[in-house]
Amino acid sequence: MRLLLAVLLSGLLLAPTLHAQPAADEGGALATVRTFIRANETANLDLMVSTFAEEATLFMPGGDAPYRLTGKPQIREAFAAIFGRRSGPITITPAAVTAQMFGDMAIVTAHLRDVPPAPIKEPLSFARRTFVLHREGDRWLIVHHHASNFQWNPPAG
């Protein structure tokens, strides 16, 4: 009986530690995404590229790079072109951000504007972003980023 009680108590004492770990991991993954966004807003190319793993892949939402970009050099080149066309800083305000944690992997998704509740009755255009991150040591790095824009046209009738 004492052994059973000891096992149960030790399980209760360890439970907060086990549950706290994913929250810390989620915070690290989200911090990397926030750094990516800040670098994008301020056209900080070096900071932007630092958020990616060496062999990361990226799908852009259109423009000059409709194909998959692979590796930091291609990602740097694509963002250098985007940043070169800007006249100053921009503001990015992610909405409906979610993080799914899978050990050393995380998936962070967001819209770049609020999406109205269903049913949507008017045509609507909005952007969606997905980041797949991998923990390398104490850092979370983007291993894949998928950026897409979506046009919703409600059914006629």
Q: pLDDT tens-digit profile of 102-111?
A: 999 999 999 9
| Inside any domain, residue 98 | yes
DSSP letter (8 states) at residue 111:
E
| 40 vs 79: CA distance, rounded Å | 8
Instruction: Please give the residue that has the higher pLDDT: either 99 or 9.
Output: 99
Give the chain's mean pLDDT. Answer: 84
> How many C-beta atoms lie closer than 10 Å to residue 131's C-beta?
23
| Inside any domain, residue 157 | no
Tokens of 23: 């929250």
Instruction: Please give the residue that has the higher pLDDT: either 90 or 20.
Output: 90
Model confidence, pTM: 0.80
| Inside any domain, residue 11 | no
Q: Could you give the number of structural domains in the chain? A: 1
| Inside any domain, residue 4 | no
- The pLDDT confidence band at residue 61, using thresholds 50, 70 and 90, is confident
Instruction: Please give the residue that has the higher pLDDT: either 142 or 122.
Output: 142
| Inside any domain, residue 139 | yes
pLDDT for residue 79: 95
What CATH code is carried by the domain that includes residue 88?
3.10.450.50
pLDDT for residue 124: 83
| Inside any domain, residue 140 | yes
| Inside any domain, residue 7 | no
- The pLDDT confidence band at residue 123, using thresholds 50, 70 and 90, is confident
| Inside any domain, residue 53 | yes
Q: Residue 44 belongs to what domain range?
A: 19-152
